[in-house]
Structures are given as structure tokens and as C-alpha cells.
Structure 1
Amino acid sequence: MPTTWPKPRPDLQENQVHYVDGLECSEFDREVFTELREGGLTCVTVTCGYWGDALESMDSLAAWRDLARDNEDLIGIARTAADIERIAAEGRTAILLGFQNSAFLAGRIRFVELFADLGVRVAQLTYNIQNDIGASCYDDPDSGLTRFGREVVAEMNRVGMAVDLSHVGDRTSIEAIEHSTAPVAITHANAASLVPHRRNKSDEVLKGLAARGGVLGVSGYRNISGPYAESIDAWAEMVARTVDLIGVDHVGIGTDLGRKVTFEHLQWMRQGRWSARPQYGAGSASNPGKQPPLPWFPDTRAFPAKEEALRRYGFDEQSVAAVMGGNWLRFYADVLPQSSDQPSREE
């Protein structure tokens, strides 16, 4: 792995390779923001919460505003695709605010617009257990998208908030894809046909996602990547096999990187307040702990090594640019609002 990282990319010229991470769950501070810049990241979607109610979620968003102000030389919060371009042109990394659950809505449809007004641009419909929108990947049976879920998806489409299906059950995912009028995302998961795991996605879900213009963020997270986490070249093979499955225009990167995440953080992610018993998420009773960093991807400064691994595997320049970030940038241009003003709701 190189020890001298490339300089930050200052603009979004068409033929340039841009690095975009579809999802991170790190505990962000100035050190981590510096790593984003040293890795040349154009844009990163961050996790603002999992189980927090509306008030706790607003606390998280307020904290992110403080972080952005205190580190404005390194990052900026983006609300539109134009914001991503502007922030990158200024030599900073654009941050998209996201949640890995819809608990912040508190069952209130009008909160979709309110949280969009606060800058939320990505929301996962469910996390690791059934909610009032639909089923998680760990729920059996999956009862599908609820009536409230259909309203939430439609409202997210209207306000320009990307629908994320990463931890969502297959039936709920398929129905969300069919109901959505905009492309949807799976920000951090892999194909279950490559690595069988409940957190990964069936071919039916992935092909439906691609048919509607969506993007899958291929992850290197050990628990859901299996043998493809063993080396960076194995990861590149997983990317290539995913491209074979759904096409190069629908594959990006979603590291699910958890820099500075402790075991206590992991426990909160996995069980929140809903369970008094240990929950293992993508792990298991025999593999309960925090996964060690990948030697070939300890943090985002290693993004250039991913680009080189794709080239070694045989990806041409256009495909490298698409996977490293171009597909996410196109997705954001399609899905995010054109301006910060919300469109009117049709009667």
C-alpha cells in the first residue's frame, strides 16, 4: 500500500476519477476528516443515527453542524448535487447526512419534509428489526412495505431524500423499488449469490435496483464479504462479479467503515433499546466482536489503492471512474433536490 497519498481532487471534471463512499458509520472528528482529504474523497454519506427518536436525531444533526463549522477547511455539508460539486471544487469533502433507520420520523409522515429541511439526504427504511415501514433483513417472515412505508417512500421521492435498502428485507426492498418513482440505493451490502448472508441482497433485489437506475455500494466489511475481504485484489474480483450481475453503471463503493467505533458503539448499533439480550447483527455468537481493520483498507486514505486494484483486475478507465464514484455522483444528480427549496405536495 502506498505511504504517500495523492493530493485532494479539487474539481469534478468529466474524465476525472472521483472517490465517493456511499456509507460510513465512523465516529467522526478532525483526524477522520483529515483522512478523508488525504484519501481524496469527493463525497461521503455519514451515519447520523440508528435508533434515536426525533429529538435525539435533531441533536445529532445539530452536532454535525458544529462539526462542519469547526472543520470547514476540510468538509462541507451538501444538500444538492451542485453543493457536492462546489464543495469539491473548494478542495473539501462533501458530507451527505444520512440515517440507518427511519426511527427519526417517529411515525409522522410530515417529518420526512422537516428532516429534509434540516439537511437529511439519505435514509435507510429499516435497520435490524421490523418497524412501521417494513421488515429488516433479519425478520422472518418479511411482511413487505406497509401502507405507511409506501407514503414514506413517496414523500422521500418528493423531497429528494434517497431511499436506502441496505439492511432491509428482500420483500420490503422489492416493493420499495417498485413503489419508488426515483432510483433507490443499497449503500453498503453485497450480492448474496456471491457471499450468502442475510445482510446481503438477492439477485432479484439487485436486478430490480439496477433496472430502476439505482446503485449498490459494494462493501469490504468482513462479516458480509467472506473470502473477498482477504485482499484488495479479492475485493476487486467481487466488484467485477457484481458488475457481471447488474452492470457497471450500478456498482459503487460503500465501505461501511467504522473508524473509532468501539465495542460499546457496536452494541448500541445492534440492539439499541429494543432488546435486553445480546444481538450480533452481521456477526454471530461465535464471532460477536468488533471486526479488526482490513490490512489493505485501514481507513479512507487507502481509496487510491482500490482504484489501482480495479485497474489490475482489468477494468478500463471509464469503468474505474464509474465504480470509484461516478455512479454515485450520477445517482445524487438524479435523486437529490435541485435546490434547497422543497417542491409542493400534490393534492
Structure 2
Amino acid sequence: MTDRRTFLAGMVTASAAPSIAQQPSAAKRDMLIVNALGGFSDPNAPRGDGVAPRDTRTPLSARVVKDALASGMSAVNVTLGYVAGPDEPFEQTVREIGLFDWRIRNRPDALAKVLTAADILRAHEAGRVGVIYGFQNTAMLGDDATRADVFADLGVRVIQLTYNPANKAGSGSMAPENGGVTDFGRAVIERLNANRVMVDLSHSGERTCLEAARLSQQPISINHTGCRALTDLPRNKTDAELRLVAERGGFVGIYFMPFLNPTSVASAADVVAHIEHAIAVCGEDHVGIGTDGGTTAVDDMAAYRAAGRKEIAARRAAGIGAKGENPDTLPFVEDLSGPGQFRKLIALLERRGHKAARIEKIMGRNFVRYARDVWGA
């Protein structure tokens, strides 16, 4: 069974790691950029993204790290652990946390684990990429909400209640019943609040999102989404969801995904349009970016498209796909890909008349504000 990370990337291979002095972003960066959902995927490698349970000592490739640094990204929320598939969720998740701990120790010149908002700022000042550990499911908790305590102690800072289908915590965006937060989901939210872990509702159904936002004692996030008012697809959020999250002090990240356009082929202009709509609904203090992709460009687009068609079919067969995932569409915005994606977005926002202070909020400052509110300084 294939989750989004496998769809986006191939397995990275070991290679020599250049020193920080060789990296194009080694100098102090001007604008703080936080990707609320992304990763270190390599779309040009054979399979997986190097976080499969058995790949316990697979370092990130030199190119992937170099591209992440070159993008200017100060921090990124990476998906670890079980999303879907045949592996035991708790075991897979613990293995992947251990793997990423090792990967960060293997590249201390380029990567830093993020536990607090201050860690993001330190990574930015040092020219490193801060790595935020996040989940896109709660299946690894099993029937025990107190496992959230264990994962918080291991450094997990973002936990999404559901993926696309329903689970024990609530309904995902593709669950036909659009159910609300379950009793177990309420217990999970309580434990996440107690451990100062972000409650992410990115893949949730509308009712689950609205109920979770009201149940949580801390602001929630929708780290990677679009606006349903512009494109009526289940993975996008209604104005009611966006508005409630903002009113309660939360954060909304706009993704670089095909769901931003009714044709399922999105452009940079679509990303800007969804950011602007989110600002109109939420206010400029609650909107940022969560690309749902990496910073390494595709070298062979024909081969990538062929592999993507197989992955879409596998996701549909497994019941984890989303409406808007079509065989000939890409799981990213082609004209906002590669290491230059953030610089291009900044230029587009400037062209649209957005002032520097607002752009800085969108690109990272709003996420840091939100992180400070949830995690502490």
C-alpha cells in the first residue's frame, strides 16, 4: 500500500555529504521560510523516501540536502511514521523516528531537530534546515491515547488526527459519513494539548475539523490545504473551517498541490490565489505555506509521470486516494518546484502588491508565532 510520501519520491541513496561551507545557503539567510508540511524527497530515485522500516541506516542524499539548503528553507515539518500500509503502525513509527534522529546526527552541518519555536530561529541563523517531526495519522496510537505522551517525549511536534479515510479518532476528508471527533479522538486531543503538540486537521472531514477546533484547548493547524471556495474538492477546506481555525489563534498552510485547480493541474497563480483567499477569510496573521512536497526537481518527467500513474492506481485500490488525484496529474505545482520554488513565490506575491511584512508572515513568521503559542518559546 502506498502513501503520499512514496508517491512523491524515490528512495534516496547514500553519498558523501559536503560541508556546510560548500552549500549555497551557508551564509545567513534574510527571510525566514517555514514549510509547514514538506520533506526531503528525491523524485529521481527508484522508490520510497528512505523511511521504510527496514532502511534503518539510509542517509539523506547529498543532492536532497543541498537542494533543501539552496531553497532557503529554514524549517520543514516532515511526515514520519505510519500513514497507511501493511506494517504495524507503532513499530514502523518508532523505527522512522530513530532513523531521522540518526540522519540529523549524520548531517549536523545542515540539519537540526526542532523542539521549540526558538529552535526554528536558531536553525535559520545558522543556515541549517530545522526538522519538525510530524505524523499524518493517529493509527500508531492504537487504542491508547497516552502513547501521544511517548511520541511527544521522542520529539514529535505535530500530529494529524486522520488521513483521508476515517480512523479511530475521526473522519478523514474522503470518509463518506463526514463523522465528527470520536470519544477516542477527544482523548487524543486532550493528550496532545497536555504535551503541547500541534493538533493538525489537514486531511480531516469538515465536521471533524470544526469539532476538533472547538474541543482543543490550544490553537489547531491545517498545515497543508487549499480553499474549497475556489476549488470544490474534499481535500480543500471550507471558509467555515478556515475562519474558525483563525479565530481560535491557529495556522493555515496552503499547499502546492493539484487540488488547487478544478482540472487537477495547478499553477503558481493558483497557489497565490488560494493564499489570497485564505488571507481574506483568516487575516494575514494566520496564513502560511505547507507545500506537501520536497525541494528537489524531477529530472525525467516522462518516467515520473509513468510511475505516478501506477501510484495513483495503487492509492485508489488501497482506499486512501483523494478526489482530484487523476492519473495524468502531478502531486506538485510544476512551475513552483525545485530549489527556487520559495523565491519564485515571494516574487509573485510582490508582483501582486503584497508588502514585505505580509510576505514575511506568509513565508514563515506566522508559523513561528503559532509554534510559540503551542510549543512555547
TM range (shorter): 0.7 to 0.9
Q: Deviations over 1:137-189 (max 9, x none)?
A: 11122220111111111111111111110100111110100011111111110
**Equivalent residue, structure 1, for 2:196:** 160
What percentage of aligned pairs have identical amino acids?
A: 31
Deviation at 1:268, TM superposition (A): 10
Higher relative contact order (CA 8 A, sep 6+): 1
Which of residues 332, 335, 340 in structure 1 aligns to 2:374? 335
In structure 2, the residue matched to 1:341 is none
Matches within 5 A, 1:1-347: 7=25, 10=28, 17-25=31-39, 26=41, 27=49, 29-30=60-61, 31-49=63-81, 50-51=83-84, 53-226=89-262, 230-257=266-293, 263=308, 266=311, 270=315, 280-284=321-325, 287-288=326-327, 291=330, 293-338=332-377
Q: Measured at CA, do residues 292 and 218 of structure 1 come closer, stay the same or move farther in structure 2, by a change above 3 Å?
A: closer
Deviations 1:201-224 (A, max 9, x none): 111111100101111111120134
What per-residue deviation string (whole Å, max 9, x for no partner) do you get for residues 215-246 of structure 1?
11111201344479654344223311221121
Pairwise CA distance, 1:264: 9.5
Q: How many residues align?
A: 324
What SS does structure 1 have at the residue aligned with 2:348?
A: helix
Distance 1:64 1:148, change over 3 A: same
Distance 1:82 1:293, change over 3 A: closer
- Shift in alpha-carbon separation, 1:99–1:267, aligned structure 2, 3 A: farther
Counterpart Cα distance in 2 of 1:305 and 1:116: 35
Letter of the structure 2 residue corresponding to residue 165 of structure 1: L
Deviation at 1:10, TM superposition (A): 2.9
CA offsets 1:61-84 (integer angstroms, 9 cap, x no match): 111112112222111111111222
CA displacement at 1:115 relative to structure 2: 0.4
**Conserved 8 A contact 2:258-2:324:** no
Structure 1 partner of 2:53: none
Pair 247,183 (structure 1): closer, same or farther in 2 beyond 3 Å: same
1: distance between equivalents of 2:319 and 2:165?
Answer: 14
Structure 2 contact 260–274 (Cα < 8 Å) conserved: no
Contact preservation (8 Å) 1:129, 1:136: yes
Letter in 2 for 1:280: G
What are structure 2's unaligned runs of at least 5 residues?
A: 1-22, 42-48, 51-59, 299-303
Q: CA deviation at 1:318?
A: 1.1
- Gapped runs of 5+ residues in structure 1? 339-347
CA distance in 2 between counterparts of 1:279 and 1:150 reads: 23
TM-score, normalised to structure 2, is 0.79
SS of 1:139's equivalent in the other structure is coil
Any conservation in 2 of the 1:228–1:235 contact (CA below 8 Å)?
A: no
On the 8 A contact 2:309/2:327 being kept in 1, the answer is: no
Cα distance in 2 for residues equivalent to 1:227 and 1:73: 42
Secondary structure at the aligned position of 2:193 is classed as helix
